[in-house]
């Protein structure tokens, strides 16, 4: 009962000294929010028109204010992670045209060299494309002979200019057709008639075989997946409000499910894209020990050093969360007067939270008693 009377007394003191400013300072920032009847911001208005909380001298012992300035934030960012192949260490082999698999030379787990024959594909389309090369080559030879003949006739004075021009046009068309058909056959790969030899593009291990002997495959179907086991990295999924705390080169400790002890690494890249549904971004970590035997797909947990610039750090008691998405602190604008300020925060650790945006060096912030100010602000309206 006595505690209840004390809280009632404090709130009464706060309300007794609350006043509304008539005008704001000329240089005051116009980024504050008007409090609705429920005590939550309803709209953004110029600073001179918003509600300010004035605290009488008798209530000041219940409010602690401190000037803030950037400082080193020594902490780690925890993030779920996984082992993945690097982009250049993963490759696929597919069917350029539709056909039937006549032979498969490898199986999952085999290590192969670049150029190793993985399978043979039989395709009538391949036979037709190779026949087109022979046809277009013959057409090109006839066009060349005609162009030479027309050039000699015109030189001898018995040929017409229009016939020579037509011969040159036919020659250019025949040459273009031949080059086009030749390029199409080169994309097929090695082989003769209707046979196509599918070869490994990189050194690596066969990760997956997606077809069987005799199976009919469509054009573009992926038949083999290859990867280089030694070219792996750790991909950590970091929440968006922690991404600014991480820089390239930051040290990391990774606990991998298949290893008894944590391993070390460092950040080598930060993804520019976000997983919008999870509000996370990918951090790519290279292991310091490149000889570790790992398998892609293993789950891990990364502790990444917060290697960002100096930041303003506040105790968690200074930050209020509204509607589970808006974070607010109270700033002393003049002696005994306070206003709410929207801020962007990082992940809280050990009772401290970094301020990513919204506060400047030297501003005076309420670090305890902010709840009393917030309650008083709601009761003013």
DSSP state of 276: T
Residues 39 and 130 in one domain: no
Residues 127 and 217 in one domain: yes
Stated length of the chain: 381
Q: Per the domain annotation, does 267 fall within a domain?
A: yes
Q: Are 217 and 121 in contact (CB under 8 A)?
A: yes
> What is the sign, positive or negative, of the torsion defined by CA atoms of 333, 337, 340, 344?
positive
The SS3 of residue 273 is strand
Structure tokens, 325: 């998405």
pLDDT band of 311, cuts 50, 70, 90 = confident
CA dist., res. 20 & res. 55, Å (int): 11
Residues 268 and 145 in one domain: no
Residues 148 and 182 in one domain: yes
pLDDT band of 51, cuts 50, 70, 90 = low
Q: Per the domain annotation, does 143 fall within a domain?
A: yes
Residues 165 and 283 in one domain: no
Q: Per the domain annotation, does 10 fall within a domain?
A: no
Average pLDDT, the chain: 78
Q: Per the domain annotation, does 188 fall within a domain?
A: yes
Q: How far apart are the first and last CA of the chain?
A: 28
What CATH number is given to the structural domain containing 170? 2.40.50.100
Residues 25 and 138 in one domain: no
Q: Per the domain annotation, does 4 fall within a domain?
A: no
Residues 217 and 108 in one domain: yes
Q: How many CB atoms lie within 10 A of CB 229?
A: 15
Task: Evaluate if residue 30 carries a pLDDT over 60.
Answer: no
What is the residue range of 283's domain? Answer: 76-86+231-305
Provide mean pLDDT across the span 98-107: 90
Q: What's the domain count of the chain?
A: 3
- More confident position, 22 or 162: 162
Task: Evaluate if residue 15 carries a pLDDT over 50.
Answer: no
What CATH number is given to the structural domain containing 283? 2.40.30.170
Residues 315 and 301 in one domain: no
Element (H, E) at 33: strand 33-35
Residues 222 and 322 in one domain: no
Which backbone phi and psi does 102 adopt, to 5 degrees?
Answer: -90, -25
Structure tokens, 155: 């030189």
Q: Per the domain annotation, does 2 fall within a domain?
A: no
Residues 154 and 278 in one domain: no
Query: Which residue, chain included where needed, has tokens 């950037």?
Result: 70
Q: Per the domain annotation, does 103 fall within a domain?
A: yes
| Per-residue pLDDT, 378 | 57
Residues 147 and 41 in one domain: no
The SS3 of residue 220 is coil
Residues 145 and 239 in one domain: no
Structure tokens, 376: 């008083």
Of 290, 305, 320, at which residue does a domain stop?
Answer: 305
What CATH number is given to the structural domain containing 351? 2.40.420.20
Of 202, 227, 252, at which residue does a domain stop?
Answer: 227
| Per-residue pLDDT, 23 | 38
Task: Evaluate if residue 279 carries a pLDDT over 60.
Answer: yes
pLDDT digits (tens, 9 = 90+) for 115-160: 899 999 998 888 888 888 889 999 999 999 998 888 888 888 777 8
Q: Per the domain annotation, does 185 fall within a domain?
A: yes
Of 276, 305, 334, at which residue does a domain stop?
Answer: 305
């Amino acid at each position: 009962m006595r505690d209840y009377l004390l809280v009632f007394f404090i709130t009464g003191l706060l309300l007794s000294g609350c006043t509304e400013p008539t005008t704001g300072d000329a240089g005051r920032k116009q980024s504050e929010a008007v409090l609705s009847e429920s005590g939550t911001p309803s709209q953004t208005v110029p600073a001179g028109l918003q509600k300010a909380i004035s605290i009488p001298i008798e209530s000041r012992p219940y409010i602690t204010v401190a000037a803030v300035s950037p400082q080193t934030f020594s902490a780690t960012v925890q993030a779920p992670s996984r082992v993945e192949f690097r982009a250049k260490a993963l490759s696929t082999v597919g069917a350029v045209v539709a056909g039937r698999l006549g032979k498969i030379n490898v199986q999952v787990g085999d290590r192969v060299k670049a150029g190793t024959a993985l399978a043979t594909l039989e395709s009538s389309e391949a036979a037709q494309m190779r026949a087109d090369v022979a046809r277009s080559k013959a057409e090109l030879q006839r066009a060349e002979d005609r162009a030479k003949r027309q050039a000699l006739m015109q030189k001898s004075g018995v040929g017409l200019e229009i016939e020579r021009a037509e011969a040159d046009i036919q020659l250019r068309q025949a040459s273009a057709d031949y080059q086009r058909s030749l390029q199409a056959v080169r994309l097929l790969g090695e082989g003769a008639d209707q046979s196509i030899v599918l070869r490994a593009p990189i050194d690596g291990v066969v990760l997956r075989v997606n077809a069987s002997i005799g199976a009919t495959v469509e054009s573009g179907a992926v038949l083999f997946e290859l990867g280089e086991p030694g070219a792996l990295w750790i991909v950590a999924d970091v929440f968006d409000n922690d991404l600014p705390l991480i820089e390239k080169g930051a040290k990391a400790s990774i606990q991998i499910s298949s290893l008894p002890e944590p391993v070390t690494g460092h950040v080598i890249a930060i993804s520019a894209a976000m997983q919008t549904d999870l509000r996370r971004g990918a951090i790519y970590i290279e292991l310091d020990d490149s000889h570790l035997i790992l398998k892609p797909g293993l789950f891990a947990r990364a502790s990444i050093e917060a290697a960002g610039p100096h930041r303003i750090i506040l105790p968690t008691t200074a930050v209020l969360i509204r509607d589970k998405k808006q974070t607010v602190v109270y700033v002393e604008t003049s002696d005994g007067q306070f206003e709410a300020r929207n801020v962007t925060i990082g992940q809280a650790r050990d009772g401290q939270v970094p301020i990513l945006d919204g506060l400047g060096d030297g501003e005076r912030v309420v670090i305890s008693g902010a709840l009393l100010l917030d309650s008083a602000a709601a009761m003013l309206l």
